[in-house]
Structures are given as C-alpha cells and as structure tokens.
Chain A
Amino acid sequence: MRLLRVELLRFRSRALIRWGAAGAVLIGLLFVFGAYQSSAPVPQAEIDAARADYDEAVADWEENGAEYTAECEEEEAAEKENDPTVDFGCEDGGPGEWSDWIGGTSSFSDVGLELVDVAGVVYLMVALVLGVTFSAAEMSTGAISSWLTFEPRRRRVYWSKLAAAAIGVLPIVAVALGVVVGGAWLAFTLNDAQGSMTTGAWAGLAWVLARTLLGAAAFAALGVALGVLTRSTAGALGLVFAWLVVVEMIFGTMEFFGGLKRFLLAVNTQAWVSGRATYYTETCVASDDRGIDCTYAEHVVPMTQGGLVLAVLVVVVCVTAAVTFRRRDIA
C-alpha cells in the first residue's frame, strides 16, 4: 500500500498527466459543442428558404406529377424485363411532407447514448497514453534504477505502478465523461431538445459510463505494461499506432482476413463500451453469366465477447511485461 500511495502521488504530480487530464476535459467540451450545434433550432431564414422550395415542389408536382409517375413506371417496366424484382418506388413520388424539408434537430434521448459511446472509446485511448507516459518516462530517464535501490522487490514495484495508473485515470475519465454527459444534457436543454429519456435509457447510459471507466483502468494498465516493455513513450505509442494502421485498418478491411474481424481491437472495444458492435463481411462467388455475385453479411459482436477479448489482451501484455521487468537488467 505504501508503494501504491507513492506511485499515486507521482501520477498526479506529473505535468504530462495534468496536461492529459486537461486535454480529456477539452475533448469533452468539443463533444458538448457538437451536441449544442446538432440540437440548435433551425434559423428562420433557413426555414423560409426551405418553405419556398417546398411550395415550388408542390406546385410542380400538382402540374407534372402524373407525367413523372408515368415515365417512372415505363422505365421500371423496361428494367423488369432484365430483373423482375426491381422496384423504382414510383408510387412514392412527390414532394413529401414539409417536415422532411427543414432538416431535423436531434434530442438527447436520440443521440446522447451514441455521443457517450464515441467519447468513451476516445477516453480509453487517452487512458492508454497516460499509462504509457507514466511508466516509459521512468524507464527512459533511468529513474527506475534509483527507485529500485530503495525498493528492490521488482514484482511489487511493477504491480504498484500498474495499479496506480489504473486508479489514477479513473477520476480523470470520470470528470471528462461527466463533462460530456452533463454538458450535452445542458446543451440539449438549452435548445429544448431533451427528448424523452426513460428510466431504462438512463440505466443504459449509466452502464456505458461504468464500462468505460472499467475499460479506462484496463487501458491505463495496458499502457503501463507497454511502457515497461518498450522503455520509451515514442516506442510504445508507435507500436500502438502501427497496430492500428497495419492490423486494424489494413488487415481489418481485407476480406481475406474476414474470419479474424471479430477479434479486431476496435470492434471489441466498441462492443465493450457500446454494448454491441457490428462488422460486415463480403462473400463473392462467380455467377453463371461470368460475373461476380457478392453477398454482404452483418455480424454482431456482443459486449461479453468484447470484454473477454480486451481482458485477455490486457492480462497477456501485463504479465509479459511483468516477467520482462523482473528479469531485465536495469541500465
């Protein structure tokens, strides 16, 4: 406990951690600004312009609607000779409803959860970076050698750092999430766009927040382990960046690796934070007319799988770093 207390003191004393905390809050404010913009009432000038366009479309439809429908049905019939299932939707023509023309404004009940989902994933990355800098700085400056001359039990030293980072990021992420949720609610309220948040909706939001906090602790620990392994902030962040680009963005979009998509870090992180995530696979076969027929399938990754994959990743990396740190010579 003594070591943990000292590591927590070091965590909150680090300038980079403080800057990171400020950055997390700033990101939260950006989300709030976006929420305010999306829920702001449409200006009267835009409404007037839309009204003019709508009236013009109605008049045009009254005058030429029958002709447009006939043309549409004619083209549809011609196309049906090739593909009997085709449907041009000719009966749905016309200017539509006025509400379709003025563009909708979103409400908290519509987008609040989605907002927290996105912010949550961002904050997991912030926690990872804070964890990396926390341990890598000590390794790269050589301060760890001074530290070990005071506490030579490396296992204790390592786990205290891991625990300190995991605990230390919690208030930072909690405050940042509070800014997002509280700020977004305030922004929607100012625009009179709270919507109808049911008890169930609030509970769902609370679960997302709780899972994000738990995930942030795990990602901070993962960051500490990566910092210990690479002994360099740039090295650890470079490794993460390379993984995201090579594995998640390049291999992840290749259909050849379609079967492995369910294990992608991005998919499983989203599943853990949001409760579920979807990904798509494409299967193409040669058709009879020498073409290619492709079918697309949607796959759902449940929250439990997301949590399990992340837990395995964190445990494997943390234990590997622990063994490495215990056996490694310290310069």
Chain B
Amino acid sequence: MATVRELSDETDSAISTRGLRKTFRSVRGRSVGVDGLDLDVPVGGVHGFLGPNGSGKTTTIRMLLGLARPDSGTMRIFGHEVPGALPLVVGRVGAIVEQPKFFPSFTGRRNLELLAGAIGAEDRMVGTVLAEVGLSERSRDRYRGYSLGMKQRLAIAATLLKDPDLLIFDEPTNGLDPAGIREIRETMRGLGERGKTVLVSSHILAEVAQVADTVSIIGRGRLLAQGSVDEIVGRQSGSVVRVGIEAPDRAVEVLRAAGLTARVDAGVVLVDGVEDASEVTRVLAGSGLFVRDLTTLRADLESVFLELTAGERPGGFVPDDGPGSGADGSAARGPGAAEPAPLTGSLKAVSKHGRHQGGVS
C-alpha cells in the first residue's frame, strides 16, 4: 500500500483550488470573501499569495486548513481533496494563520508539548524546534509575556514539529520590527531552499518580492494573476525606455514616424513597449539626433500588483438572494465582473483593471 508521501508525488501542485467560493452572512447582507478562486501552488519553493487587505487570502487559507467551510468549489493539498482528506495530509502541513494563537497562561514549551502530544511527536522534538527558532532560553516563560517576534518564532517552532513539506504563513511579518521581518524572511527562504513548499500570504509587496519564486495575486476573492515573478512582471508591463536628448519634441516625432510609442515627460522622452533599446538609438541617430543618456525602465512587481488590484476593493456585499454558486461548483459573478482570461503557459494573467490607484502598505 502506497504511503501518503508517495501518493502526493503524483501531483506537481502542493495546493490546488478550483471554483472556491466563500460568502459571509451579516446583518448587512452577504459579503463575498472568496469568489471562484482557481489557485495553484507548485511543489517546492516560496509562493507569494498577494492581495490587498480583505481580498480573501486568509479566508482561502482557513478553508484549506479546514477552519472554514467553503460554499462551493474544490481544494486539494498534495493531490488530496480537503477538507475530507485533511487527516491524511495535515501531518505534512504547518500553518500560522494571522497572529499566532496559543494558550497565554502556559509556557512556550508547554504549548508545544501539547501540540507535539496531539501528533505523537517525540518529546525531544520540542527542545529541538525551540532551539531551531532561538527560544530555548525563554521556553519556560509564559506565552503571554512573549514579544510579538517571539510569538511568531514559537508559531514557526510549532509548524516545524511536524517536519512539514508545506508551510503556510499568513501575514507573517505583521507587527514585527525590521530585525524580526528579516528573520522571518530568511526562515522562509531557507525552508524554500530546503525543498519545502512555502506559501506566504501578504499585502506587503517588498516582503514577498524578495523571497518568492512564484506568486498569485488576488483581489476581491478572485485570481488576478499567477506565475513566476519574472513572468508576471514581463507579461503585465513592457519595458519603458527613458531617453535624454537635446530636442525631445523632435525626437518624439521621429520615433513616432518609425512606429514607436513615444511621449515627452518632464523634458525627457519616454518610449513604451520597447523590445530592444538599440532600436531607439538607431532611429534617432538616423535622423541626426544623438542620445545623451538612455535608461531601460522595467516594471517591478509592485507596479504590476497595483495595476492588477486597482479598483479591487475588499468584499462587496450582495443581497442574500443574490447570485449563488452554480451546481458545478463554479462561482457566480456579479454584473460587470471581469471574466477570466485564458491561461497561458505557467503565467495566468486573469484580469486587468484600470489605472493605478490607492497603494499598499
């Protein structure tokens, strides 16, 4: 009989969701938390799960871990459909959902001992993981006396009790000081380099951009883009070339005549969608215009994120008798919502909205 670990090797996805939908009822009506999410997290490496606050990241993670029930859709972890098969795979999944939550009156060590007891881990594992996160000396202090950074480290220690193949960190650096943020980032990177799959959800671009191999961007519970960081940046926004030149207006005329998209901005010429910067210099030189300086501006993940999530306000309300889920598990969409674009290769640019607006913290 095949083991769980062997069975999981049959899939390339650590996490896979299809048509995942979750709504919340309140006195104001029903709000959509996750709206037909198709998420794929490849096995191995760090996967960033990006979205503005309230975009459905935590709700998705809670559903994956069996803490919340989806209205419809399917979820798989290492090929096993969850939450039904969670008992089979939970030993391979370590998770910190939002803030670490332990018993405040127990020591850090006692909290871990209880969790270790629940999964039958050996007692010595508790000491090992506490040492691994640098909490050995404070392990007999009550949890309520821990700083936020220590709480995060204890939570990471808890996840390591299982020696998991998949680690899920939900907003792991919230409230941490710069040193704590760096520590968490290095931990995630280290785990990814050891072949673990790390899913890190965040609304902070810088945090994810530095460690993620692949990312998924969601807004209002829907997938907006998915793929490697380079793919998303490259696909979503072409390069812009900035040209310093004596006669910018004349240069724009020449470039436009050559079929390029050019404009003057603050005394410099900006040429959009340039595949090869030498094309710009060749056209200008051909007209007797010589470039003083030339810079290729590539879009970064943040600009792509802002572009994709512009207008994606969190959780709009729909009436109680509003659009529900289809019988096939597909999510119903409100009027005017963007339809998913076809997926191309590993890059899945799903929808694109308006201009940049707002920002991320």
Contact = CB atoms under 8 A, between A and B. Distances in A.
Nearest to B144: A141
A330 B67 contact: yes
A10 B106 CA distance: 9
Secondary structure at the A interface, as helix, strand, loop or mixed, is helix
Contact of A145 (B67, B83, B117): B67
A152 B101 contact: no
Given A142-B101, A152-B90, A13 B106 contact: yes
Interface in A213-258: none
Contacts, number: 73
A149 B90 contact: yes
A290 interface: no
Interface string B113-131: 1110111100000000000
Interface in A130-168: 137-138, 141-143, 145-153
A94 B67 CA distance: 80
Contacts of A148: 65-67
Interface stretch (B92-100, B206-214, B260-268, B341-349): B92-100
A152 B117 CA distance: 14
A330 B83 CA distance: 14
A275 B114 CA distance: 41
Interface in A275-331: 327, 329-330
A329 B62 contact: yes
Interface residues of A, number: 27
Contacts of B352: none
A146 B102 contact: yes
A80 interface: no
A274 to B, nearest CB: 37
B68 interface: yes
Nearest to A327: B69
Contacts of A142: 99, 101
B69 A329 contact: yes
Interface of B: 62, 65-69, 83, 86-87, 90, 93-95, 97, 99-106, 110, 113-115, 117-120, 155, 158, 162
Interface of A: 2-3, 5-6, 9-10, 13-16, 137-138, 141-143, 145-153, 327, 329-330
